[in-house]
Structure 1
Amino acid sequence: MIQARILHGGEAHGRVLALDAPLSFWGAFDPRTGRIIDIHHPQCGSCITGTILMMRETRGSGTAPGGMAEAIRLGTAPSAIILVKPDINLAIGAEVAEALYGKTCPVLAVTAADYAELARHAALAISGDGKITPLPRDSFPG
């Protein structure tokens, strides 16, 4: 179990999708489909919907909260996001979505060493107090 820094709280569980490069929630991700659409991203075409999305850091600007909130509203967002470099923009997007739509997406930050450990697992659970626990490999097929 790993204790994360909570940027936006909540509970979640799902299969892990660890990205090989940063992702922008404005322009590199389609909130209507949940897919990465940046043709230069190594995981272009991957669907982040319902995953525990892991990336060391994000790309983008102050427009990211809008893309994040829209994905949460549409149900195409990840179940949670785990970062190494905290991103206030994603936390704001998650906060706005919770306030407006009553839906949540935890956003957490961990150390680089904890990130490497978590990325080795197929599925994770996140508790409301920011504890991250690996789940059995067969918890989330696919």
Structure 2
Amino acid sequence: MENTLNIKCKSAVRANLKAELLWTEKPLSFWGTVNPKNGEIRDNKHPLYKENMSGKVLAFPTPKGSSGTGLIILEQIRNNCAPAAIINLRSDPVVLTGPIIANRFYNYQIPIVNISEDDYKKLEHAKFVEFFEDRDEIVAYF
């Protein structure tokens, strides 16, 4: 039997989705860190080095870096290697622009939610996370 944990969140982009979780305790920059052609993390100093975010829920506490992040996410969408969803403690415009533009102009949803620091730590060993279009809650599956 699977263990689950319901977590309250603030949703920036909503969709119904359940996908495998890729979690890190370190901030992430998409510009120069993520290969937009295949979704692989190519920064050899990052704990997720060589992991692939394509089709997974990507959880990283905060973004860092470039205003080009939104463009990298849009390019990942074009190349079918974008994360399925994003979980942050605090999303900022550099992360939000790509998914918001994709939602508005391409009807392509990458759910983005923010959760508390305590709840974020609880996700570390989750295997899957489920998102909902109709409520500010996610469910983690262990």
Query: Same fold, TM exceeding 0.5?
Result: yes
> Which runs of 4 or more aligned residues in structure 1 lie more than 6 Å from their structure 2 counterparts after TM superposition?
none
Following the alignment from structure 2 to structure 1, what is the Cα–Cα distance between the partners of residues 77 and 115? 22
Name the Cα RMSD after superposition.
1.5
Task: Map 1:1-142; keep pairs closer than 5 Å.
Answer: 1-128=6-133, 129-135=135-141, 137=142
Which is worse superposed, 42-51 or 96-105?
96-105
Following the alignment from structure 2 to structure 1, what is the Cα–Cα distance between the partners of residues 13 and 94? 11
Query: Is the 1:32–1:74 Cα contact (8 Å) retained in structure 2?
Result: yes
Following the alignment from structure 1 to structure 2, what is the Cα–Cα distance between the partners of residues 111 and 70? 29
> How far did 1:120 drift?
2.6
Following the alignment from structure 2 to structure 1, what is the Cα–Cα distance between the partners of residues 84 and 136? 14
Query: For 1:16-35, what per-residue CA distance to the aligned partner results, in whole angstroms no more than 9, with x for missing partners?
Result: 11024221111100111010
Query: For 1:28-47, what per-residue CA distance to the aligned partner results, in whole angstroms no more than 9, with x for missing partners?
Result: 00111010011221221100
Q: Which has the higher helix share?
A: 1
Number of positions where the alignment pairs a residue of Structure 1 with one of Structure 2: 136
Following the alignment from structure 1 to structure 2, what is the Cα–Cα distance between the partners of residues 107 and 88? 12
SS across alignment from 1:43: coil
Residues 1:69 and 1:130: Cα distance change in structure 2 (over 3 Å): farther
Query: For 1:89-128, what per-residue CA distance to the aligned partner results, in whole angstroms no more than 9, with x for missing partners?
Result: 2111101112333211011100001111222311110111
Following the alignment from structure 2 to structure 1, what is the Cα–Cα distance between the partners of residues 38 and 105? 21
SS across alignment from 2:37: coil
Following the alignment from structure 2 to structure 1, what is the Cα–Cα distance between the partners of residues 95 and 15? 14
Following the alignment from structure 1 to structure 2, what is the Cα–Cα distance between the partners of residues 60 and 130? 27
SS across alignment from 1:65: helix
Query: Is the 1:73–1:97 Cα contact (8 Å) retained in structure 2?
Result: no
Match of 2:3 in 1: none
Report sequence identity in percent: 26
SS across alignment from 1:6: strand
Q: TM-score, normalised by structure 2?
A: 0.87
Following the alignment from structure 1 to structure 2, what is the Cα–Cα distance between the partners of residues 9 and 44? 28
